Structures are given as structure tokens and as C-alpha cells.
Amino acid sequence: MAVHSIFLYFTTCFAALFPVIDPLGSGLIVNSYYGSIGEEERKKYTRSIIIHCLAIGIVSLLAGHLILMIFGLAIPVIQIAGGFVICKSGLEWLNNSDSGNRDEEQEEAQGVKKNNIVSKIFYPISFPICLGPGTISVIFTLMASAERENSWLLTGAHYALIVAAMVVQLIILYFVILSGSKINRRLGPAGNMVINKLIAFITFCIGIQIFISGIAKSFHLTVF
């Protein structure tokens, strides 16, 4: 592959994955689970989250065809289901009561800490908050487009670039999570509420787009 082709394919994968992984929004959401835990614990838990997300992404990419074949699923169906789940999550975040009550937040944060945050690292933090059904549906779509019948080498290069795009976004997510408490302090209660509602709305819109894309592919329609 030429350097230009490598760069173009990488940016395509990065652009496709960025809205669904949403490292900025996901990082702020994850921060609400951490509460007042120490810096070293925050780093340790964040590394675990990143490793879990990367493992889910790579397994989805490598085992995608097998999963679809075993369950008889088509990629548009995955997109429809994933979009629906993302829409549901966005609506739930939009309908949650305002998070401006600092006493309630601190109490909840302490509760999470006492109830052992380790049990929440994989579910629901790593999956589906950081890397959920919407991301998996996009990975499946990229997987399908990466296949080259007459060239295993080119297919492998495409797979490697998809993984590289995931890694870059997970690195961004890592630093956003580590900086989450500082960002929250700067924004204040009102700023946090506005940002959370905005992220929830964008999440809902992403879900709608993935859902409609699945519908369009199922019925061979041109929507976008």
C-alpha cells in the first residue's frame, strides 16, 4: 500500500469510529463513576478499561465473520440493533434528573467506591459506555469493507489500520478519563450539567444515524 492510501484508509477508519467511541464524552461519563478515588487507583482502573475496550474491539474485528455466520446476522441488522441501543442510552441520559446537586453526587461516588468499583470496570464502564454495540456495528462494517479476496496481505494491512485507529482513540480516552476530575472542577455543577445533556443528545443523534444507515442498507435506499 502506498503511504497516501495508508493515510486515507486510516483517516476513514478514525472518522467512522470517532463518533461511536466518542472518547471525549465517554471519558466524562466514566469520571462520574470514579467519585473521589485516588490518582493511582484512577490510573489502574483506567488502564483496565482501555485493555478491556481494546480486547473487545480486536475480538469483534477478528471474529466478526464467524459471529455473523453462527447467528445468521447481517451487518445492517447489527447497525439497526446497535443504533437502537445507543438511542435508548442517550434518552436515558437526557431524562436523568439534573446532576447539579453536589451532595447527591458525592454520596453516590462514595457508594460506588464502597461497593467496589472493580465490579463495574468491564460492565457497564468498558462495555457499553466506552465501547458498545454501536462501535461493534461500525467495526463489523469496516471489517466487511477491508476484505480483499485476492490479497490476504492487503486485508491484513486494512485490519491493522482499523486497530490503529481504535488504539489512537483509546489513548485519547485514557487521558480524558485521567483529566476528568480537573475538567469537572473547572466546569462546575452548571457546566457539568450542560455538557452531560449535550453529550446525551449527541449520543442519541449518533444512534439515530446508525439506525437509519442500517434501515437504508436493508432496503437498498440512499439516505445520506
pLDDT in tens, 54-99: 999 999 999 988 888 888 888 888 888 878 877 887 787 788 745 4
Euclidean distance between CA atoms 157 and 135, whole angstroms: 20
Q: What is the pLDDT of residue 87?
A: 85
* 99 DSSP 8-state letter: S
Q: What is the pLDDT of residue 44?
A: 92
**Helix, coil or strand: residue 149:** coil
CB neighbours of 96 closer than 8 A, spacing ≥ 6?
none
Q: Are 197 and 10 in contact (CB under 8 A)?
A: no
Q: What is the pLDDT of residue 104?
A: 43
Q: What is the pLDDT of residue 177?
A: 93
Dihedral (Cα; 76, 25, 90, 107), 10-degree rounding: 140
Euclidean distance between CA atoms 32 and 109, whole angstroms: 7
Q: What is the pLDDT of residue 141?
A: 82
Extract the residue ranges of the chain whose pLDDT is less than 50.
Answer: 97, 99-112, 114
Q: What is the pLDDT of residue 158?
A: 92
